[in-house]
Amino acid sequence: MKLRSRQTLRIGLGIAAVVSGLTMGSFVLQREMPSALSFIPFLAQAGHDADAAQAASEKVTPPSIIFHMTDRVVNLADPGGFRYLKVGVSLEFASDDEKDLQGEAYKKKQDEFAKKLVNRKDKLDDAVMTVLSSHSAAELVTPTGKESLRTELKERVGPMVQPEQLLNVYFTQFIIQ
């Protein structure tokens, strides 16, 4: 009985190795000679997907500055009020620099930008807390709920930071309990 299960395992591993090799070989061939495998639709699509991913990774993003807000814990709008959200929020703003800064230069620019927002910090904190606490755990637990919350925060906070241009809202921490 043991001999049969070992043989079955070896056969299964052999088949997996062959299939894996053929798959990798077809992707390499598709990459080097795109028209060679165009008669097999799913392999042709895989080559186009890889090209699209490479083009997206090469796309240059405009310079930006990230403003990290203080992590917070808020009560959620669940009945009974016993659900909490611990969240870290970071705001991405368009930068007026011509090039993307790195290292110490970026840190210096980030500190200068934070000084611009210091007089609006309390308003920003209040707006974020108000938006967060107006949702229930059931709304926020789904990816759609998080994306909706991100959009709502962007719409609420964006006008408060004018003339700075708010590009995006990021959650650096998101724990519901």
Whether residue 35 sits in one domain with residue 94: no
pLDDT at position 60 is 55
User: Which residue carries 């090209």 as its tokens?
Assistant: 51
pLDDT at position 28 is 46
Ranges in the chain, pLDDT < 50: 26-30, 37, 43-44
Whether residue 43 sits in one domain with residue 120: no
CA separation, residue 75 to residues 107, 175, 176 (Å): 33, 12, 10
Residues 6+ apart with CB under 8 A from 163: none
Whether residue 148 sits in one domain with residue 129: yes
Report the Cα 123 to chain-centroid distance in Å.
Answer: 26
Q: Determine the length of the chain.
A: 177
pLDDT at position 79 is 86
Whether residue 145 sits in one domain with residue 117: yes
Mean predicted lDDT score pLDDT of the chain: 78
- Single out the residue in 36, 58, 80 at which a domain terminates: 58
Whether residue 80 sits in one domain with residue 12: no
Whether residue 7 sits in one domain with residue 38: yes
Whether residue 153 sits in one domain with residue 90: yes
Whether residue 69 sits in one domain with residue 20: no
Question: In whole angstroms, what is the distance from residue 149 CA to residue 141 CA?
Answer: 11
Q: Residue 84 maps to which CATH number?
A: 3.30.479.30
Whether residue 29 sits in one domain with residue 113: no
Number of structural domains (the chain) is 2
Whether residue 115 sits in one domain with residue 41: no
Count CA within 13 A, CB hemisphere, residue 61.
11
This prediction's pTM: 0.62
- Single out the residue in 15, 40, 58 at which a domain terminates: 58
Whether residue 92 sits in one domain with residue 11: no
* Domain of 24, in residue numbers: 2-58
Whether residue 108 sits in one domain with residue 81: yes
Question: In whole angstroms, what is the distance from residue 52 CA to residue 64 CA?
Answer: 24
Give the chain's end-to-end CA distance (angstroms, integer). Answer: 51
Query: Amino acid letter at 95?
Result: S
- Single out the residue in 23, 40, 58 at which a domain terminates: 58
